[in-house]
Amino acid sequence: MTDTTTTLDAVTTPVAPAESPWRWRLAHRPDVRFGHAAGGVAGLLVAAACFAAVVGISPDDDPQIPGVGIHLGLIVVALIAGWKVRGPVRSAAVAALAIAIPMLWLFAIFGDDGGGGRGDFRLLLLLTTGSYAVLYLLTWTRGRAVLLGLALLFAANWVVFEVASQDVPFAADVAGQTLSGGVGDPDVVTGGDKATETGIAELIVAGVLLGAGVVLDRRRKPGAATPCLLVGGINAVAAAVVLGADIDNVYTLGGFVLLAGVAIGLAGTLGRRRGTSWIGALVALAGAVIMVVKGTTQTASDGGSDAAWSFAGYALVAAAILLVVGILVARAFDEPIDGGEPAPPRPPTAALQDFSQRLYAAAQQQASAG
């Protein structure tokens, strides 16, 4: 006989609504594997083919019209393809959109004469940022971290571009002027009149984005936190290099890079992220290596065994400093010991020795009391 009560309960019990893709992507990092990654690479190749087609159509003429038309068509096709087909095809569509958007605005703004002032660069940064933001918030591309990351990257560079009054964005007027020499004898060249403003602006952007990433991780929104941490880390390293170049001291440069690594690593620890923590440690290692190599070349310029011993001494000092920093951070933020690995039981001999020592101490106390 059928249990009508159970049947009625099954019918009347409300079913929890399915989580929307937008909320899911905020709270998760997608498990992207080779098939989808290959689709993304295919999308990059399609975008490259479109750019080559523009060059082929107008090798000597004005590329503005074909550049805008072809990349606008690529955007439309990618949006339709991603809307219709999920899986690797959608990954290819996202990758194509990521490249086609800045290329569209680049040809629209600079395609007529190839030149441009600060106003043109400002327009390029703002339109590209806005386009990525629209795709991140609307259509089937909602919530995709790569679009948020690109929007943050262009927005951050717009802030630095304005604050530092740069002639061109992405610190291109400062990049290439910061370092000279080789690994054996690194040297610093001053970064120009705007290096200080550029470095400070990048430092502020890095602090804001790394802090936002930690907050989002704490609120269980890792999908949105990842782009913040990535762009924040890039700006932290860039700020360290630019400020070190401005001070014109290799040891200061290495120290700034080391501090940038510590900041990135702390963001990883606070957000309970393994990858970000390791990236921070590697950046800190790069800063330490810069100082070690410079110290070695200064104290043992003739090379040979003296250089080897000098390198060994500086490397041990740097290792001790990084180890102390690691111990302090691990204790301050209660990191899982050995990655959470359970501690094995103590061997019986050690336990027996500990027991005998306690027994001997108790006997001594009793003898002294008597």
Q: What is the pLDDT of residues 282-333, one digit of tens each?
A: 999 999 999 998 888 887 766 566 778 888 888 999 999 999 999 998 888 8
How high is the pLDDT of residue 183?
A: 47
Q: Is position 354 within any domain?
A: no
Q: Residue 182: its pLDDT value, please?
A: 52
Share of the chain above pLDDT 70, in %: 80
Mean pLDDT, residues 200-226: 92
Residue 3 covered by a domain: no
Say whether both 79 and 181 belong to one domain. no
- 221/288 same-domain check: yes
Task: Find the DSSP H helices in 3-63.
Answer: 4-12, 21-27, 34-57
Q: How many domains does the chain have?
A: 2
257 confidence band (pLDDT: 50, 70, 90):
very high
CA distance 89 to 204: 38
290 and 227 together in one domain: yes
> Containing domain of residue 230, as a range?
170-337
For residue 16, tell me if it sits in a domain: no
Are 185 and 325 in a shared domain? yes
Listed in sequence order, the residues at least 6 apart from 270 whose beta carbon sits closer than 8 Å to its beta carbon are: 214, 217, 218, 333
Indicate the pTM of the whole model.
0.79
Q: CA 195 to CA 244: how far, in whole Å? A: 9
Pair (178, 279) in one structural domain? yes
Mean pLDDT of 95-109: 94
Same domain flag for 212 and 312? yes
Separation in Å, CA 255 to CA 206, 301, 320: 17, 22, 15
Domain match, 319 and 176 both:
yes
Structure-token pair, residue 364: 């001594």
CA 212 remoteness from chain centre? 13
> How many Å apart are CA 132 and CA 100, to the nearest integer?
11
Is 19 inside any structural domain? no
* Among candidate residues 155, 156, 149, the one with its CA nearest the CA of residue 224: 149
| Selection from 262, 287, 265 nearest residue 276 by Cα | 265
Q: At 113, is the secondary structure helix, strand, or coil?
A: coil
β-strand partners of 179 = 188
CA 286 to CA 241: how far, in whole Å?
11
If asked whether residues 179 and 106 sit together in one domain, one would say no
Classify residue 310: in a domain, yes or no: yes
Q: Is residue 139 part of a domain?
A: no
Among 52-61, 285-294, 339-348, the range scoring the smallest mean pLDDT is 339-348
Is the pLDDT at 127 greater than 90? The verdict is yes
Mean pLDDT of all residues in 109-121? 77
* Residue where a domain terminates, one of 115, 138, 162: 115
pLDDT number for residue 1: 46
Closest Cα partner for 124 from 114, 146, 109? 109
Residue 320 lies in a domain: yes
List residues bridging with 187 in a β-sheet. Answer: 180
Average pLDDT, the chain: 83
Question: For 18-40, how does the pLDDT look when each residue is reduced to its tens digit (9 = 90+)?
Answer: 667 778 887 877 778 899 999 99
Asked whether residue 102 falls in the same domain as residue 197, the answer is: no
Is there a single domain that holds both residue 111 and residue 222? no
Is residue 335 scored above 60 in pLDDT?
Answer: yes
**How many other C-beta atoms lie within 10 A of the C-beta of residue 129?**
21
Based on the fold, state whether residues 181 and 47 are members of the same structural domain. Answer: no
**160 within some domain:** no
Judgement on whether residues 196 and 278 belong to the same structural domain of the protein: yes
